[in-house]
Amino acid sequence: MESAKLLQAIIETAIDGIITIDDRGRIESLNPSALKIFGYKEQELIGKNISLLMPEPDRSRHDGYLLNYQTTGEKKIIGKGREVKGLRKDGTQFPFRLAVSEVQYQDRMIYTGFIHDLSKEKEAEESLKRYASELEELVGNRTKSLKKMLHELEIAKEEANVSLEKEKELNRMKSRFVSMASHEFRTPLSSMQLSVILIEKYLQVSDSLQIVKHLHKIKTAIGGLNGILNDFLSLEKLEAGIVHPNHCLFDVIRFSEELTEEMQLITKEDQIIIYQHTGSESEINLDQNLLKNCLMNLMSNAIKYSGEHTLIEFSTEINEDRYVFSVKDNGIGIPEDDHSGLFQPFFRAHNTGNIPGTGLGLNIVDRYVRLMDGKIHFESTFGKGTEFTLSFPKN
């Protein structure tokens, strides 16, 4: 009796469900766990066919399984455990592991089913799958983000390299500017200072010829400094983006003749500027002030870098689709190694020596020309001379 009570206590308190059925599949007993798992009360199941707790297609097939075993001995319902589906009273299905044993009891066969609910394990398994899927997606997204970040870093690196090169170029420009400014400002200022001292001396002896000579030197030095300051001002305006072409119609022949007369006043001894126009038309549509600045710079360079008793050729042409301007000299020329850097700010050719200049003029000319949709071209032979050509679309 004690053993029977102990066994009953074990069955009543077992975590897994325990169900016994007879050889016709009718339920004889259920422990509390089985009732809880399926959601029934004991009186609702006792005497009912076990198939009541099975979803289709197992419900329809169960009696066949049991009959087949009883007639052939083939143990389809007997085993150590297999995963099947259960049907709760509320109609929901759930997975459980089923192990069935047969017991010979009082001259008859009964079958005992041990039911282990797998719902929580399956939920945990699904959660793990979802987590793995989410993790995989997260890793995939992070990988994409990392690749994008690496790509952006590469772009940033390239931009940084470009910025570094620009900074290096800026530093080189600053260095050239300091060198240029040191020379170009100090030289005329020293000259003016010396001339003022000499003028004071010559005033005491009333030497008007020497006074006029040094006043001319001061005037020339002031003009040079004014040119430097004008170059700086032009460059600042260009950098600020406040220079805009203002095209208008004007007579290029009259414009060029007046410019030639003006530039002839600053030529060296016996330097002659010859002007020539080609084409039946004379009216052009460009920004007159920007064009004048460009040509004055080119002609000033021709005067500055050519010797005395030389010829400077200035020509204009209007053809079918373009306006063309040319300034040609017979001066010192530009070394071939300096051609590539000629239009960079503060750049000066290596053969300029003590000839004054800021290295800004051609950079400003190039930028003015491009503002008017034009192009600048030059040909130069070292020691023989240089020719600059500006061309603009006629429309």
Q: Among the three residues 118, 140, 161, which one is the final residue of a domain in this structure?
A: 118
pLDDT digits (tens, 9 = 90+) for 152-205: 767 877 776 776 776 666 556 555 554 555 455 555 655 666 666 666 666 666
Q: Among the three residues 87, 118, 149, which one is the final residue of a domain in this structure?
A: 118
Measured distance CA(300)–CA(386) in Å, rounded: 13
pLDDT digits (tens, 9 = 90+) for 56-93: 887 777 766 666 666 655 554 454 568 888 899 998 99
Domain that holds residue 252: 243-393
Residue 298 pLDDT more than 90? yes
* pLDDT score for 321: 92
pLDDT digits (tens, 9 = 90+) for 27-59: 988 999 889 989 999 899 899 988 888 888 877
* pLDDT score for 386: 95
What is the tally of structural domains in the chain? 2
Please, where are the H alpha helices in the chain? 2-13, 32-38, 42-45, 58-72, 119-205, 208-240, 252-264, 288-304, 361-371
Q: Among the three residues 118, 134, 159, which one is the final residue of a domain in this structure?
A: 118
Q: Is residue 177 part of a domain?
A: no
**Side-by-side strand order, sheet with 385-393:** 272-278, 311-318, 322-328, 385-393, 375-381
Q: Between 173 and 271, where is the model more confident? A: 271
* pLDDT score for 182: 47
Q: Is residue 39 part of a domain?
A: yes
- What one-character DSSP code corresponds to residue 338? G
Q: Is residue 131 part of a domain?
A: no
* pLDDT score for 4: 66
The answer to whether 52 and 34 have CB atoms below 8 angstroms apart is no
pLDDT digits (tens, 9 = 90+) for 350-395: 888 777 766 778 888 998 999 999 999 999 999 899 999 999 998 7
Q: Is residue 155 part of a domain?
A: no
Q: Supply the Cα-derived Rg of the chain in whole angstroms.
A: 52
Residue 249 pLDDT more than 90? yes
Q: Is residue 233 part of a domain?
A: no
